[in-house]
Amino acid sequence: MTKRILLAAVAALALPLPALAQTHDAAALRDAALKDDLAWDITEGLTTEVGQRLAATEAEARARAWAVKKLTALGFRNVHIETFKMPLWERGIETAEVLGASSQKLAIAALGNSGSTGPKPIEAEVVFFPTFADLQAAPADAVKGKIVYVGNTMTPTQDGSQYGYFGAARRAGPNIAATKGAAAILIRSIGTDHHRNPHTGVTSWTQGVKPIGAAALSLPDADQLERLLKRGPVKLRVQITAGMKGEAESGNVIADVPGSDPSAGIILVGGHLDSWDLGTGAIDDASGVAITTAAAKRIMDAGQPKRTIRVVWFGAEEVGGFGGTAYAKAHANERHVLAQESDFGADRVWKFEVNLPEGAKPIADRLATVLSPLGISRGRSTAHGGTDVGPIINTGVGVIDLSQSGLRYFDYHHTPDDTLDKIDPEQLRQNVAAWTAMLAVTANAPEDIGPIPKGEGE
Amino acid sequence: MTKRILLAAVAALALPLPALAQTHDAAALRDAALKDDLAWDITEGLTTEVGQRLAATEAEARARAWAVKKLTALGFRNVHIETFKMPLWERGIETAEVLGASSQKLAIAALGNSGSTGPKPIEAEVVFFPTFADLQAAPADAVKGKIVYVGNTMTPTQDGSQYGYFGAARRAGPNIAATKGAAAILIRSIGTDHHRNPHTGVTSWTQGVKPIGAAALSLPDADQLERLLKRGPVKLRVQITAGMKGEAESGNVIADVPGSDPSAGIILVGGHLDSWDLGTGAIDDASGVAITTAAAKRIMDAGQPKRTIRVVWFGAEEVGGFGGTAYAKAHANERHVLAQESDFGADRVWKFEVNLPEGAKPIADRLATVLSPLGISRGRSTAHGGTDVGPIINTGVGVIDLSQSGLRYFDYHHTPDDTLDKIDPEQLRQNVAAWTAMLAVTANAPEDIGPIPKGEGE
């Protein structure tokens, strides 16, 4: 105890007085946020009253209206929708069936941007690639006319880093298979659970490549297919009628907590309003908009901050980050000093990392002080933001990552199982406390938070 | 330690010598069975090569052929199929959708024996009954023309007893709703998980009642509907096109380990070969036929037992226990002395109970001795068997229940999630060891195992 008190005293002495006062305010706001009910209220309301809200659909438009009503009722200023046009992708029929002596259905879900197998089911033999690299290395004549299956298996990690690594099979596998003449592609879901709910997610096609039918098998179905493949050749009947349905409207919902010093710049926080069409998007990403909104509301209610805090509920993140791109374009003339998003569920924040300009580095030390009691340590890397704030960060804006535990995130991610019951109210509150503390420190920081020169920052 | 050795010595002294030798044999066979791979092999093979095997379908017929081949290869005698006719029920379209401002789809699965809502979806308001008793008590005019929803919530229990209690909503709820003029009925799944996979299961109609559409909502969807009902009236569009499709063929697969003393009677063990159509029936009940077959094979390989051990892979259990009824009728003239089934998954056996005639009660003491090292204690109730052995038990046949832990059984039961990955190979082996020990003791017991007079037994 003695040592801790001494260290605290030393830390306090090192802070300029206004910054010290802010840290104390931030601590009080942080502790009050551990009793937060607003984030739950938003998450419950959005997922219950709107349900799924696939980008550019009528459901996503309903979600925007819901957001405007909620943000206005909460007292935010300048609440409005900024629409944009984008291509609409829709799911259709999606069936897969083993033919022959072991005739049986397999559970699949089309990947976002999947093409169609045509008006009738296709029948073809499966060619099995245990890893994404095997598909990359395969000669075209081993793939042509076949149904590609990629086994590629991820495991749970706290930092979620295997999603990036193994997710390549989903993001890029279909394009490679199409290039080599595959009839269709099935992948093992990019997920970590053991349920018959396949994980969808976006895939991309390079210019000139005609999209083929591309779907994920649930993890038990992927196991089943691999057991059958061990016994001999497998022929499947597959139908996927997904595809692009022309241009449609999506939009971002924006709400401000105006700051007392407009020249000090905007601190942007948010998450995405759209979800995949399979679940109700509770962890992806109702909880993200809820956490950041609840935190901003707490700062607003504690008295006007120095900097404007802007809350953005981004549209159309899942299918290609359209909302983040549209926001950055529409608001290029405003001075943003920090931009961060919550888009990794609602489990505990365990780590924070920053990317701050030289003069603003003391902010990170104060964050460490105020976040530590929540069980949050400082990570060793540089913050990188996410899909929605990426475009604005790329203009030279600082970022703080509050990293959530990903250990069970990929059990539910992009599946029908992304529903409210997966949210732990206590961990959700810890998130609100972390974001409240972060905003209390940054919105009132006496330091100027300047732009980040390209290739710099910590 | 001293006390334990003393007790063991006292127990040993209390046994007649042939019985003591058998207990030692049983212990050796039990311990060898802890390295069993056959039960896994059968479970993996049946669920992979056949997949789902709904009663009276082509898939169940394939499963019978698979069983004959496997049981013959294992060296069982008298391997054959006994067919019977029964009504075929099939699933069809099953959709449910919230109408109005919170428009969204809900995940449902028709209950076995469900009727149809007709060629077009129906639209009606929901009437909510939190419990089965509330539905029972409701006046008909509160139900007429509405879509009944019964909330009725079970929790996990080691002995699975809440299934019987809360399962009434599924077994009898639809009949009550139909009688009161409901347009359709949805129930909260009789299950304990948090996944978007509804639990099917059989429902029954009394003579003269016209079946209505009856389905289970997944547990997250039941929560969702209840949250919407808290906000106000809910109107649903529901389509269920399930129904009876005439008469079809099912059958039991029978295999014997012939005993040296035919007059000592038959010990019947088994499980059911059919499954629901949603999963591959790994825990319900590939593991049951696998466990009992592996145990019988171990006794066979250890030398001819005194009593014949008969393994039955029953057909058409799920949809109404047709296989058990057909078996009891076809084999009424044979002397059965014990009959038991494994139909509660593949988790650890933790308890055993018996129903034995007076002269055979020492068998239970020897079972206690040999099962105890597996972590199995003697329960306080009378064994009752299950659906498949029920009809033969009711003719006055003794029974031993080896009760498995049900703590996670109802997470998967009757859902698409009943797949191989839910089987823990170590717990499966413990089951084989328990059944092997039980058969070693009973098949060679020197006592005569007589009939159980009605209303008697322990």
Confidence band, pLDDT 50/70/90 cuts, at residue A347 = very high
The residue-averaged pLDDT of A328-345 equals 98
- Upstream peptide bond of A285 is cis (omega within 30 degrees of 0): yes
Quote the pLDDT of residue A74: 98
State whether CATH 3.40.50.1980 applies to domain B92-241. Answer: no
Whether the per-residue pLDDT at A403 is higher than 90: the answer is yes
Confidence band, pLDDT 50/70/90 cuts, at residue A453 = confident
Helix (H) or strand (E) segment spanning residue B29: helix B17-33
Residue in A48, A69, A424 to test binding to B, most B beta-carbons within 10 Å? A48
Confidence band, pLDDT 50/70/90 cuts, at residue B453 = confident
Q: Which residues of B are catalytic?
A: 317
Whether the per-residue pLDDT at A214 is higher than 50: the answer is yes
The answer to whether A52 contacts B107, with C-beta atoms less than 8 Å apart, is no
The residue-averaged pLDDT of A93-99 equals 98
Whether the per-residue pLDDT at A16 is higher than 80: the answer is no
Whether the per-residue pLDDT at B446 is higher than 80: the answer is yes
Residue in B44, B46, B48, B62 to test binding to A, most A beta-carbons within 10 Å? B48
Across the interface, of B50, B195, B231, the residue whose CB is closest to A197 is B195
Map chain A to HEC letters. CHHHHHHHHHHHHHCCHHHHHHHHHHHHHHHHHCCCCHHHHHHHHHHHHHCCCCCCCHHHHHHHHHHHHHHHHCCCEEEEEEEEEEEEEECCCEEEEECCCCCEEECEEECECCCCCCCCCEEEEEEEECCHHHHHHCCHHHCCCCEEEECCCCCCCCCCHHHHHHCHHHHCHHHHHHHCCCCEEEEECCCCCCCCCCCCCECCCCCCCCCCEEEEECHHHHHHHHHHHHHCCCEEEEEECCEEEEEEEEEEEEEEECCCCHHHCEEEEEEECCCCCCCCCHHHHHHHHHHHHHHHHHHHHCCCCCCEEEEEEECCCCCCCHHHHHHHHHCCCCCEEEEEECCCCCCCEEEEEEECCHHHCHHHHHHHHHHHHHCCEECCCCCCCCCCCHHHHCCCCEEEEEEECCCCHHHHCCCCCCCHHHCCHHHHHHHHHHHHHHHHHHHCCCCCCCCCCCCCCC
Cβ–Cβ under 8 Å, residues B402 and B427: no
Quote the pLDDT of residue B2: 44
Across the interface, of B105, B228, B416, the residue whose CB is closest to A196 is B416
Confidence band, pLDDT 50/70/90 cuts, at residue B206 = very high
Across the interface, of B49, B52, B228, the residue whose CB is closest to A48 is B228
The residue-averaged pLDDT of B124-138 equals 98
Strand-pair partners of A247: A87
Whether the per-residue pLDDT at B178 is higher than 50: the answer is yes
Confidence band, pLDDT 50/70/90 cuts, at residue B15 = low
Cβ-based interface (< 8 Å): residues of A facing B: 44, 48-52, 59, 62, 98, 101-105, 107, 194-197, 219-220, 223-224, 227-228, 231, 279-280, 415-417, 419-422
Chain B residues touching residue A105 (CB < 8 angstroms): 51-52
The answer to whether B107 contacts A416, with C-beta atoms less than 8 Å apart, is yes
Chain A residues touching residue B219 (CB < 8 angstroms): 421
Structural domain spans, chain B: 14-88+247-443, 92-241
Quote the pLDDT of residue A454: 74
User: Which strands make up the sheet holding B399-404, listed edge to edge?
Assistant: B377-378, B349-355, B399-404
Quote the pLDDT of residue A198: 98
The whole-angstrom separation of Cα B375 and Cα B368 is: 10
Whether the per-residue pLDDT at B176 is higher than 90: the answer is yes
The DSSP symbol for B84 reads: E
CB within 8 Å of A381: residues ≥ 6 apart: A353
Residue in A60, A95, A104 to test binding to B, most B beta-carbons within 10 Å? A104
Closest approach of A121 to chain B, Cα-based (Å): 19
The residue-averaged pLDDT of A229-254 equals 98
Chain A residues touching residue B48 (CB < 8 angstroms): 102, 224, 227-228, 231
Residue with tokens 């529409």: A330
Percent of all residues in chain B with a pLDDT value above 70, rounded to a whole number: 94
Strand-pair partners of A86: A248
Chain B residues touching residue A101 (CB < 8 angstroms): 49, 62
Confidence band, pLDDT 50/70/90 cuts, at residue B396 = very high
Chain A residues touching residue B279 (CB < 8 angstroms): 196
Whether the per-residue pLDDT at A6 is higher than 60: the answer is no
Confidence band, pLDDT 50/70/90 cuts, at residue A458 = very low
Across the interface, of B50, B107, B195, the residue whose CB is closest to A195 is B195
The DSSP symbol for B395 reads: T
Residue of A nearest to B58 (CA): A103
The answer to whether B52 contacts A104, with C-beta atoms less than 8 Å apart, is yes
Out of 2.40.40.20, 1.20.1290.10, 3.40.50.620, 3.40.630.10, which CATH number does the structure's domain B14-88+247-443 have?
A: 3.40.630.10
More confident: B229 or A7 = B229
pLDDT tens digit sequence for A278-313: 999 999 999 999 999 999 999 999 999 999 999 999
pLDDT tens digit sequence for A69-86: 999 999 999 999 999 999
Whether the per-residue pLDDT at A1 is higher than 50: the answer is no
pLDDT tens digit sequence for B298-357: 999 999 999 999 999 999 999 999 999 999 999 999 999 999 999 999 999 999 999 999
Quote the pLDDT of residue B454: 74
CB within 8 Å of A63: residues ≥ 6 apart: A46, A50, A53, A273, A274
Mean pLDDT over each residue of chain A, to the nearest integer:
95
The residue-averaged pLDDT of B96-103 equals 98
The whole-angstrom separation of Cα B272 and Cα B249 is: 16
Whether the per-residue pLDDT at A12 is higher than 90: the answer is no
Chain A residues touching residue B52 (CB < 8 angstroms): 104-105
Is residue B433 classed as helix, strand or coil in its secondary structure? helix
- Rounded alpha-carbon distances, angstroms, from residue B361 to B3, B339, B452: 26, 16, 12
More confident: A102 or A455 = A102
The whole-angstrom separation of Cα B433 and Cα B445 is: 18
Across the interface, of A220, A415, A422, the residue whose CB is closest to B421 is A220
The answer to whether B195 contacts A62, with C-beta atoms less than 8 Å apart, is no
Quote the pLDDT of residue B455: 59
Residue in A50, A194, A196, A221 to test binding to B, most B beta-carbons within 10 Å? A196
The whole-angstrom separation of Cα A136 and Cα A134 is: 5
Same CATH topology for A15-86+247-443 and A92-241? Answer: no
Confidence band, pLDDT 50/70/90 cuts, at residue B458 = very low
Cβ-based interface (< 8 Å): residues of B facing A: 44, 48-52, 59, 62, 98, 101-105, 107, 194-197, 219-220, 223-224, 227-228, 231, 279-280, 415-417, 419-422
Chain B residues touching residue A228 (CB < 8 angstroms): 48-49
Residue of A nearest to B44 (CA): A227
- Rounded alpha-carbon distances, angstroms, from residue A209 to A141, A171, A188, B157, B313: 17, 14, 23, 54, 52
Q: What interface predicted TM-score (ipTM) does this complex get?
A: 0.91
Closest approach of A338 to chain B, Cα-based (Å): 35
What ranges make up the beta strands (E) of B258-315? Answer: 266-272, 308-314
Cβ density class A86-101: b for 16+ within 10 Å, e for less:
bbbbbbeebbbbbeee
The answer to whether B224 contacts A416, with C-beta atoms less than 8 Å apart, is no
Q: Which CATH superfamily is domain A15-86+247-443 in?
A: Zn peptidases (3.40.630.10)
Chain B residues touching residue A194 (CB < 8 angstroms): 417, 419, 421-422
Whether the per-residue pLDDT at B271 is higher than 50: the answer is yes
